[in-house]
Chains A and B, each alone.
Chain A
Amino acid sequence: MTTITRENAATVTRAEVEDFLYQEAALLDEWDLPTWLDLFTEDAIYQVPCNDDPTGAGDRSLMLIDDNRLRLASRVERLGSRKAHREYPHSNLRHFISNVRILEQDSEVLKITCSMLVGRFRANRETWYCARADYDLLLSGGAFRIRRKRVALDMTTLRHSSDVAIIL
Chain B
Amino acid sequence: MTITTTDTGLGSHHVIEEPESRTFRVRRTAMTSQDVFEAERERIFAHTWLYLGHESEIPDKGDYVRRPVGGRPLFMVRGAKTGEVNVFHNTCTHRGAAICRADKGSQKVFQCFYHAWTFDSEGELKGVPGEDAYVDEIDRAGLALQKVRTESYRGFVFVTFDPEIEDLTTYLAGARQYLDYVVDAMNGEVEVVPGTNEYGFDANWKLLVENSIDGYHASSTHDTYFKYLQTLGTDLSIGVSGVTKDLGNGHAVLEYRAPWGRPVASWEPLFGEDSKEEIAQLKADLVEKHGPEKAEMMTEINRNLLIYPNLVINDIMAVTVRTLVPTAPDRVEVTAWEIAPKGELPQLRQRRLDSFLTFLGPGGFATPDDLEALESCQQGFSSGGVEWNDISRGMGRAAQATDEEQMRAFWRRWRDQLDTTN
Contacts and interface: CB of A to CB of B under 8 A. Distances in A.
A163 B356 contact: no
Nearest to A54: B195
Interface in A18-76: 48-53, 56, 58-66, 70-71, 74-75
Nearest to B232: A70
Interface residues of B, number: 38
21 contacts: A49-B195, A59-B349, A59-B353, A61-B194, A61-B195, A62-B196, A62-B338, A62-B361, A64-B357, A64-B361, A65-B357, A66-B354, A74-B228, A83-B223, A84-B368, A86-B369, A160-B200, A162-B201, A163-B199, A163-B362, A163-B368
A67 to B, nearest CB: 9
A78 B333 contact: no
SS class, residues of chain A in contact with chain B:
loop
A38 B293 CA distance: 50
B227 interface: yes
Contacts of B357: 62-66
Interface in B74-117: 103
A76 to B, nearest CB: 11
B358 interface: yes
A63 B349 contact: no
Interface in B191-240: 193-201, 221, 223-224, 227-228, 231-232
Given A160-B200, A161-B199, 5 more contacts: A48-B363, A64-B363, A86-B372, A159-B199, A162-B371
A10 interface: no
Interface in B321-375: 333, 337-338, 346, 349-350, 353-354, 356-358, 361-363, 365, 367-369, 371-373
B353 A159 contact: no
B196 A50 contact: yes
Most buried by B among A51, A162, A164: A162
Contacts of B231: 70, 74
A51 B224 contact: no
A70 B354 CA distance: 13
Contact of B372 (A49, A62, A85): A85
Contact of B346 (A59, A61, A158): A59
A92 interface: no
B198 A52 contact: yes
Interface in A70-103: 70-71, 74-75, 77-78, 81, 83-87
A165 B364 CA distance: 7
Interface string B383-416: 0000000000000000000000000000000000
B410 to A, nearest CB: 24
